[in-house]
Each structure stands twice: as structure tokens, then as C-alpha cells.
């Protein structure tokens, strides 16, 4: 019995010792995890951001795209409304996309030689182009451009677009920012020209067609007058009828004289002259009336064709007038849809490098490392407890 009692404390001591060894081994494993997951990354972050990371200069500018057509109600919109212009909130997205486009990069690369500027061997390997993957293609440069060089931030309330450019020299950051603003202004001008051309093109084409029709109608009137030897059948008919009326008056007067002479002196020699004149007047009246109506060459026959041609000419002139009015309206609408890129803040030339922010970046690495270490520690502890 005594031996059993004595053995009990010994077994208990052995178990406690074994448990202590396991706890010590687990603590060592946890310490190794802490070193690997927290101490090492933080030390590398301190080394990189404190000694190796190249200085980055940041240049910023602000602008807004405006149109004289739209209305604004609040914020910067109320301020801009006083100028008679309003912000083109929908069109600023086009400018934002252009700033990050391949076209913009191609123009900048032709001017600033990005692969040489941002690929200098004095720049640390993590920051320069190409990165660790060694992809120096244009697609790789485009990804580097979008992630490292240019950043745009749009305030949806005021539609102010902030353009941020990062470079490894202050002068380079400023010049790239200024170049992007100039390219954006050219892009907006091209949008204006395209919109104006699209709006005015159809109206101009309609004016050309109406003008040709009006000219053709005028030539048709001239050709009719030359071929028919008539200028205005209606006016000429009035003149002819006036001539007939005068001849009829003369015929009446002649007949009255014949009657008077026949009553006074039937053998008067003037009676024969007056009777002959009566015949001549009748023939003249019939000839003049034939010119007005009654034949294929009469003015009444020509008047119908002339009225048709004049009606076509009037219609063509009216069409031309309407087309010219539509063209003027299209030009006014095109002017109302013009866009203007208004600079609010000019690009600044930084006097110091504000990136990398070493303290912030090291603190972020430390925080993430601690979070990762905590998660891994909990997983390891749970697995070990389950195994035990």
C-alpha cells in the first residue's frame, strides 16, 4: 500500500514534467512563428522604406468639365453657374477614362520616354519599371502607368476631377501633370469638333440639296422664258388685253363715224376709208386676242406651264429658307453642347518627396503581420489541442 502511494506522486511528477516540456515546445514554436510572421516582415519593411525605397514626388491638379447648356444647383455648381456655364458631369467620365487610356500613355511615352525614365537602375527594384516580373512590354508599361504613375479621383458631388501624378523627380511629376492637362483639353476639343460636325453635317447636306433645287428652278424659269419668248404671261396678257380694249374703242368710234356720215352724206368718199379701217381694226383685234387665248402659242396656254415652273421655284426657295434656318439652329445647338475644361488648381511642382511614407507603411506592415500571426497561432493551437 505504501509503495502504491509513493508511486503516485512520482507518476504525477512525470506527467507534469511531460506537460511542461510540451508547453515549452509549443512556446518555442509560437516564438518562431512570431519571428517569421511579425519580426522578419517588419524588419524588412524598416530596411526597405527606411533605406532602399526611392523618393517619390507627387504633383496634383484639379479641373472640371463644363457645358453652357446644363444647370447646377449646389456646391461648386452654384459658383460656376454665375459664369453662364455649367458642369458636364457626364462628360467628365470620358476625360477620366482618357487619362488612363493607351492613347494617353502612347503620347506621354513618345514625349517622356517612360521606360527609360522610370526604369533607371538607380531606382529600387520594387519601384522601377519593369517590376519583379520583368515584363517590359507596352501592356506591362500600361499596368505600371495605371498603378504607379497616374491616379484620378472624381468628386461626384461637384464633378471636380483630381489628377495625381507620381514620379521620381519633382520636375518630371510636374511636366507629366501639365502634359496630361493639355492632352485632356485637346481631347475635349476633339469631342466638341465631332459633336459639332455630327450636328451640322446633316443640316449642311440638306442646305446643299435645297440650294441645288433652287438653282435648278431658277434655270428652269429662264429656259422657259427663252424657249417660249415670254417673260411673264400674266403681265403680258394684261398688256395685250389693254391693247385689245384700245382697238375696240377705235372700232366703236369708227363705226359711230360711219353711221354719222351715212346719215348726213351717203356718198361721202370718207365712208369707204372708214369701212376699210373697220376691217383692219377687226383683224387687229382678232390677232391680239389670238395671242392671249385660243391657240397653242397663246399666252393663256403658256401661262399654265409658267405657273407650274414658278410654283416649283417658290417651293425651292422656301425649302432653301427652311434648310438655312435648320442649319443655323443646328449651329446654335452645337454651340450649346460645347464642353470646356476649366482648371481649378494648376499642377504643383513639389519641393519635397512625400512618398514613401515610411512610418505609415512600416506600421501597416506591423499591423498586418500581427493579425496574420494571431490567426496562424489560433489555428496551430487548435490543431495541437485536437491532436492531444
User: In this structure, are 18 and 62 located in the same domain?
Assistant: no
Pairing mode of beta strands 160-167, 340-345: unpaired
**Tens-place pLDDT, residues 144-199:** 999 999 999 998 888 899 999 999 999 999 999 999 999 999 998 888 887 777 77
Instruction: Judge if 360 and 240 occupy the same domain.
Output: no
- pLDDT at residue 273 is higher than 90: no
pLDDT band at residue 212 under the 50/70/90 scheme:
confident
CA distances 112 to 109, 127, 142, 171, 302, Å, are 5, 18, 14, 12, 78
Question: What's the CATH number where 90 sits?
Answer: 3.30.1890
Is there a single domain that holds both residue 197 and residue 60? yes
Query: Is 48:341 a contact under the CB 8 Å cutoff?
Result: no
Checking if the pLDDT of 265 tops 90, the result is: no
The answer, yes or no, to whether residue 250 has pLDDT greater than 60, is yes
* pLDDT for residue 240 is more than 60: no
Higher pLDDT, 195 or 274: 195
pLDDT at residue 81, rounded to an integer? 46
**The most confident of 55-64, 256-265, 270-279, by mean pLDDT:** 55-64
| 65, 37: one domain | no
Residue 201 reports pLDDT greater than 80: no
Residue 288 pLDDT greater than 90, yes or no: no
Q: What residue numbers bound the domain in which 292 lies? A: 202-336
Exposure on the CB side of residue 299, measured as CA atoms within 13 A: 18
Confidence label for 133 from pLDDT (cuts 50, 70 and 90): confident
Which of 78-110 are b and which e, b meaning 16 or more Cβ less than 10 Å from the residue's Cβ? Answer: eebbeeebbbbbebbeebbebbebeebbebbbe
Q: Greater confidence, 171 or 39?
A: 171
Q: Copy the grid coordinates of residue 285.
A: 383685234
Same domain? 157 vs 211: no
Q: How many domains does the chain have?
A: 3
- β-partners of residue 163 are 61, 152
Same domain, yes or no: 296 and 211: yes
Q: Are 107 and 140 contained in the same domain?
A: yes
Domain co-membership, 310 together with 240? yes
β partners of residue 61: 163
**Under DSSP, is residue 352 helix (H, G, I), strand (E, B) or coil?**
coil
Residue 355 DSSP label: B
Q: Judging by DSSP bridges, how do beta strands 86-87 and 340-345 pair with one another?
A: unpaired
**CB-based contact 161:187 (threshold 8 Å):** no
With a cut of 90, say whether residue 302 has pLDDT above it.
no
Place of cell 443655323: 328
* pLDDT band at residue 35 using 50, 70 and 90 as cut-offs: confident
Q: Are residues 66 and 195 in the same domain?
A: yes
Residues 163 and 250 in one domain: no
pLDDT by residue (tens digit) across 60-74? Answer: 999 998 876 544 444
Of 203, 244, 234, whose CA–CA distance to 330 is shortest? 203
Query: Regarding predicted confidence, which is higher, 371 or 11?
Result: 371
Question: What predicted TM-score, i.e. pTM, was given to this entire model?
Answer: 0.58
Amino acid at each position: 500500500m505504501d509503495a502504491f502511494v509513493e508511486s503516485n506522486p512520482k507518476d504525477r511528477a512525470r506527467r507534469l514534467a511531460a506537460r511542461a516540456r510540451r508547453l515549452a515546445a509549443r512556446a518555442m514554436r509560437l516564438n518562431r512563428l512570431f519571428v517569421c510572421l511579425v519580426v522578419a516582415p517588419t524588419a524588412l519593411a524598416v530596411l526597405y522604406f527606411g533605406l532602399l525605397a526611392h523618393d517619390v514626388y507627387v504633383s496634383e491638379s484639379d479641373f472640371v468639365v463644363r457645358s453652357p447648356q446644363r444647370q447646377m444647383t449646389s456646391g461648386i455648381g452654384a459658383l460656376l453657374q454665375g459664369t453662364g456655364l455649367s458642369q458636364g458631369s457626364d462628360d467628365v467620365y470620358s476625360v477620366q477614362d482618357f487619362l488612363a487610356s493607351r492613347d494617353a500613355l502612347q503620347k506621354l511615352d513618345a514625349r517622356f520616354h517612360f521606360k527609360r525614365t522610370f526604369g533607371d537602375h538607380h531606382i529600387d527594384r520594387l519601384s522601377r519599371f519593369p517590376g519583379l516580373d520583368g515584363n517590359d512590354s507596352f501592356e506591362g508599361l500600361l499596368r505600371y502607368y495605371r498603378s504607379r504613375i497616374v491616379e484620378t479621383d472624381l468628386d461626384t458631388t461637384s464633378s471636380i476631377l483630381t489628377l495625381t501624378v507620381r514620379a521620381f523627380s519633382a520636375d518630371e511629376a510636374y511636366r507629366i501633370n501639365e502634359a496630361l492637362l493639355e492632352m485632356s483639353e485637346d481631347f475635349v476639343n476633339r469631342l466638341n469638333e465631332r459633336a459639332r460636325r455630327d450636328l451640322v453635317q446633316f443640316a449642311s447636306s440638306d442646305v446643299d440639296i435645297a440650294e441645288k433645287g433652287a438653282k435648278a428652278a431658277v434655270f428652269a424659269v429662264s429656259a422657259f422664258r427663252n424657249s417660249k419668248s415670254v417673260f411673264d404671261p400674266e403681265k403680258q396678257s394684261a398688256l395685250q388685253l389693254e391693247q385689245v380694249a384700245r382697238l375696240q374703242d377705235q372700232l366703236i368710234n369708227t363705226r359711230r363715224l360711219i353711221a354719222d356720215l351715212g346719215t348726213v352724206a351717203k356718198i361721202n368718199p370718207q365712208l369707204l376709208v372708214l369701212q376699210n379701217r373697220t376691217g383692219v381694226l377687226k383683224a387687229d383685234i382678232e390677232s391680239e386676242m389670238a395671242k392671249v387665248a385660243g391657240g397653242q402659242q397663246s399666252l393663256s396656254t403658256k401661262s399654265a406651264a409658267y405657273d407650274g415652273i414658278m410654283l416649283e421655284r417658290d417651293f425651292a426657295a422656301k425649302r432653301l429658307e427652311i434648310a438655312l434656318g435648320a442649319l443655323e439652329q443646328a449651329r446654335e445647338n452645337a454651340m450649346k453642347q460645347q464642353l470646356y475644361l476649366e482648371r481649378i488648381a494648376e499642377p504643383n511642382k513639389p519641393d519635397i518627396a512625400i512618398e514613401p511614407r515610411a512610418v505609415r507603411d512600416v506600421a501597416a506592415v506591423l499591423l498586418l503581420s500581427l493579425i496574420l500571426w494571431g490567426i496562424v497561432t489560433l489555428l496551430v493551437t487548435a490543431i495541437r489541442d485536437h491532436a492531444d
